[in-house]
Amino acid sequence: MSSRTRKLLAASVAGAAFLAASAAAQAEDVKIGIILGFTGPLESITPGMAASAELAMKEINDSGLLLDGKKLVSVRADSTCIDNAAATAAAERLVTTENVSAIVGADCSGVTIGIVNNVAVPNGVVMISPSATSPALSDIADNDYFFRTSPSDARQGKVISDVLGSKDVKTVAVSYTNNDYGKAFSDSFVSAFEAAGGKVTIAAPHDDGKGDYSAEVGALAAAGGEALVVLGYVDQGGVGIIRAAVDTGAFETFVLGDGMYGQSLIAAMGDGVEGSYGVIPGTEGEGATKFAEAATAAGLDPSSSYTGESYDAAALIALAMQKAGSTDRTAIRDAMLDVANGPGEKILAGDLARGLQILKDGGDVDYVGATNVELIGPGEAAGTYREYVIEGGEFKTVQFR
């Protein structure tokens, strides 16, 4: 054997050993995909959501208890919120190239449906969305691989109907943003409100991104009603509708869906929205407080939308892995409802290490987390909502429903 061949052989052996070593290192790491709309209409809230999910992963890694010291590694991908093809490609990369064990995401209902149908179910990967709220996701054919820590808008429609009932409002007009979210939300609200004996004078869509909404408001005003229910986005057409309605004196009271919650609404409208009210997913209790403390310590804003839900999504994946005793994708799916619901020891946010320990010892946990997680029906949150009223230029909490 010439010296040159020998050197080559030695190099190959060294290379092979190196590969084996790195493979061993990777075996300790469990990849979790985080697919959210880092670009697109939700780009302002997704960084907080991703960081909250990673906060839960860090807490688990620091405990060192997951499956005898395995570490979670997050792999981020961009769902774009609106572009189904881009979202599907990004999810495909997570599942095939990055070989993730489970996915936190996606954020918007449209792309979430696309990813569930085209990637998650065909490949058998668990997906937990923190923020997709379309009722369509309740009866999607998901082989039980899809969960969500946010409630369906069908529930929110019912809650808004209840709020109106408590204020004795009998007739309303509805304006919804012209997309999957708005249409389904409006449908569920209208059916809940009419079932409760109320009357919807008109339910008309509005398109986002227009300069002028006076024509839309003209139709709403003609139909009339005691209040205008606005199911849109606060930085988009929703506020345009409210502005035109206030300017023309068409409506004085606005009832706001979750997409309309934001300080920018009060900044834009001032007195115009005084006395208006609405609901937003939100919880109170020890879990929420614990999460707020942990998030604030990590430099995050816990009141930003869907941060608690994101934290819970990542925590649920880890607990399900621990329960299943493996990182196998299907095993995670099968263990999910066991850890999310009772019976078992209640686990709050910030308490993940204790949960992992109990599961390791063969016990049972009931994950409560930051948002009082309770997965019902097809694996979605039952959902509590915070009812608020705008008074003195501030959002004041009335009660939780």
Q: Rounded to a whole number, what is the distance in angstroms from the first to the last CA of the chain?
A: 80
Shortest distance (Å) from residue 51 CB to another protein: 24
- Binding part of the chain for another protein, among 71-79, 221-229, 286-294, 335-343 by CB under 8 A, reads 221-229
| Residue 351 region by backbone torsions, left for phi larger than 0, else alpha for psi between -120 and 50, else beta | alpha
Q: Is 199 in the site for another protein (CB under 8 A)?
A: no
| Residue 365 region by backbone torsions, left for phi larger than 0, else alpha for psi between -120 and 50, else beta | beta
Q: Is 394 in the site for another protein (CB under 8 A)?
A: no
How far is the C-alpha of 252 from the C-alpha of 158, rounded, in Å?
Answer: 23
Query: How far lies 161's CA from each of 182, 190, 380, in Å?
Result: 16, 8, 21
How many chain residues interact with another protein (CB under 8 A)? Answer: 26
How far is the C-alpha of 50 from the C-alpha of 331, rounded, in Å?
Answer: 24
Candidate list 139, 194, 207, 284; residue touching another protein; CB under 8 A: 207
By C-beta, is 75 or 223 nearer to another protein?
A: 223
Query: How far lies 38's CA from each of 51, 183, 191, 240, 258, in Å?
Result: 12, 24, 34, 25, 20
Alpha-carbon Rg for the chain, nearest whole angstrom, is 24
> One symbol per residue from 125 to 164: x for binding another protein (CB under 8 A), - otherwise; what is it?
----------------------------------------
Shortest distance (Å) from residue 160 CB to another protein: 23
Confirm if 110 and 84 have CB atoms less than 8 A apart. yes
How far is the C-alpha of 195 from the C-alpha of 199, rounded, in Å?
Answer: 9
> Coil, strand, or helix at residue 201?
strand
By C-beta, is 89 or 204 nearer to another protein?
A: 204
* Chain position carrying tokens 């209409």: 41
Q: Is 297 in the site for another protein (CB under 8 A)?
A: no
Shortest distance (Å) from residue 231 CB to another protein: 17
Distance of CA 50 to the CA centre of its chain: 11
By C-beta, is 14 or 222 nearer to another protein?
A: 222
Q: Minimal CA–CA distance to 200: which of 171, 158, 167, 177?
A: 171
Shortest distance (Å) from residue 169 CB to another protein: 20
Q: Is 218 in the site for another protein (CB under 8 A)?
A: yes
> One symbol per residue from 222 to 261: x for binding another protein (CB under 8 A), - otherwise; what is it?
xxx---------------x------xxxx-----------
Q: Is 215 in the site for another protein (CB under 8 A)?
A: yes
DSSP 119: I
Candidate list 196, 210, 264, 363; residue touching another protein; CB under 8 A: 210
Confirm if 333 and 126 have CB atoms less than 8 A apart. yes
By C-beta, is 73 or 202 nearer to another protein?
A: 202
By C-beta, is 216 or 312 nearer to another protein?
A: 216
Pairing relationship of beta strands 385-391 and 394-400 according to DSSP bridges: antiparallel
> One symbol per residue from 5 to 34: x for binding another protein (CB under 8 A), - otherwise; what is it?
------------------------------
> Coil, strand, or helix at residue 364?
coil
Candidate list 82, 123, 205, 328; residue touching another protein; CB under 8 A: 205
Kindly list the residues in this chain that would bind another protein in the complex (CB under 8 A).
178, 202, 204-207, 209-212, 214-219, 221-224, 240, 247-250, 268
